[in-house]
Structure 1
C-alpha cells in the first residue's frame, strides 16, 4: 500500500481549534527566546540600568536624596521598561514578514489570526519578566511598597495589560512600515516621547503650563499614577479604571486593524 493510500484509509484528524493554534504560536514565540537568549538582555539588564542610573544620577538633584527619588521613580521606570519591551512585537512581526514566514502561516489551515494573537501572548511573558526584574531590583535598592505583595502583583499585572494593548499598535506599525529597524526606530521614538513628557521623572507641577497640559492627558501619565497608587497601597479604583479603559480603546482600534492588514497579500 502506498503512503497516500495508507493516509487516505484512516480517519482524518480533526482540525485544530483557535485556542490550540494560538497556544502553538505562543509557544513558538517563547522558543525564540530559548534559542536566542540574547533577546532577554533588554528585559533584564536594560531595566536595571535604567532604574539604577536615573536614581543615583538624578535623585539628589530632583528630590534631595536618592531614597526619596526611588519612591517616586520606580513606578515610572516600571511603566517605561515594560512599554519599551512592547516595541519588539512590531519588530518581530516585520522581520517574519520580510523572511516570508507570514506568507507561510497564512497558507496553513488554521485560524487566520492565531499567529498574531499567539505572538502577542508570548510577548506578555516578556512584559511580566521585565516587571519582575524592575520590582525586585527596586525592593533591593530600598523601595517601600506600602501596598504589600498584593499591590506589587496588581501593579505588574496592570502594566502588562497596558503593554499587551500597546503591542497591537506596534504590530500594526510592523505591517505598514518596511524594515524591522524602521519599526524599532519609530516605536522607540514614540515611547520616549510619551514617557519623557509625562509624570515618570518629575512632578508635573514643576513643568511649564503647555507641557503640563499634555502630561495631564497623556495615557502614560494615567498608567503611572495608577501604578504609584497601587504600590503605595492607596485607593486606586478610578486610576486603574482609566488606565484599563485606555488600554481597551487601543486594543479595540489596533487589534482589528492589525488583523485586516495581516490578511492582505
Structure 2
C-alpha cells in the first residue's frame, strides 16, 4: 500500500520526481487506479465520458459531490481532488460555500478551479479559508462556448503571454499546483519554469512536472473521439465487447452456468 500524498509532498515533488494524476469517477476504478497515481481527479469530464453530454458545462455540484464521495470510499489512501463545476464558483462567497460543501460531504483533499488572473482573488479567498486549491490554465473546457471551441493556447504571442500571466497569478493566490491543458510544448515549459508549484500537463508536452489523463481515454473505453494527446494503454472497449459476446454465446448454447457456478444441496 502506497503512502498517501499530501500538499507538502506534492509541492516538494517539483524538480525531484514526475507526478502522475488520473481521473476517477467511482469507487471501483478508484480502487484499481490509486496505486499507480499520486493524485486522483474527480473531473467534470465525467459528464462527457459517462453521461454522454457534448461538453462539461451541465455537471452539477450534486454530481461532483456524489462521485467524489465514491472515489474517496474506493481509494481512502488516495489524494483526491474534486473538480468544481461550471457556475459553482462565480463569486468568492459562492465558491467558498460550495467548496465547504465538498469538504464537509466528502473526504476530498482539494478542489480544482479553472481560470487565471480573473480567478486569483477568488482562489486567495478560498486558500485563506482553509480550502486547498489546484488551478487550471491554458485551454479551459468550461469556457468552450465563450471561446468558440477547444482552442490550443500559445500559438500566438498574446495567448502565450496570457497563459504565463495566468499561471503566475494562480501561484501567487496560493494554489498548491496547477493543471495546464491544450498548450504548445514551449508554453508549457515556460510556465513550468516560471512557477515554483508543480505543473500537471494534459496535451502540453513532456516538460511539465507531471501528467494527467482521463482514465476512460487512457484505457480505450471512450471511443466517441480520441484527442491527439491521448495514448491508449489498453483496448478496453474491444475487450469488454468480446467478453460480453462470449458470455451471450455461452448462455444461448447452454454452456453457462457450469456446475462450478451453481449452489449444491
Structure ranking higher on relative contact order (CA contacts 8 Å, 6+ apart): 1
TM-score, normalising length from structure 2? Answer: 0.23
Higher strand share: 2
TM-score, normalising length from structure 1? Answer: 0.23
Higher helix share: 1
Max radius of gyration: which structure? 1
